[in-house]
Amino acid sequence: MSRHGKDEEEQRDKERLQCISEITEYYIYRDDGKLTSADTTIFYDTIQEHLYKENTLAELDTWLYTYRALIIQSKTQAAIEPKKRAKKKKNREQALKAATKSNKTTNTNNPRRTYQTRQQRKRQETTNTITTI
């Protein structure tokens, strides 16, 4: 009978160590910037603080059950975001280059367009109206 109890205790210890290992991995993701910044609020300041405040197998398992999917999604999103930013930057650069190229070919003889405020346009319209009268 005591042997059976020892096996259960060893099994719980192994499960607890697996939970600690997984949580430690998530803390490494956070510290290495592999998670989106919005999702880092679920962590304690340090892994040591986490293990001090939540040290039982049930507490660790509950934390993992609650946040595992969120952390994995956050890691995936954090990996995608730099690629999206790079693609947007490349698209902006290409659009700017195309716009600059089209301006050079179509507006070579035209003066640069100046933009006026609403007040400036009204004054111009008033001046034009007075001179035509």
* Whole-number Å distance between alpha carbons of 101 and 95: 10
Q: Which amino acid is present at 87?
A: K
Distance of CA 83 to the CA centre of its chain: 11
- What is the per-residue pLDDT for 1? 41
Domain boundaries of the chain, sorted by first residue? 2-104
- What is the per-residue pLDDT for 38? 72
3-state secondary structure of 109: coil
- What is the per-residue pLDDT for 2? 47
Supply 33's token pair: 């910037």
Q: Which amino acid is present at 13?
A: D
Per-residue pLDDT of the chain (133 residues; tens, 9 = 90+): 444 557 888 999 999 999 999 999 999 999 998 888 777 789 999 999 999 999 999 999 999 999 999 999 999 988 887 777 777 777 777 777 777 776 555 555 556 666 778 888 888 887 777 766 6
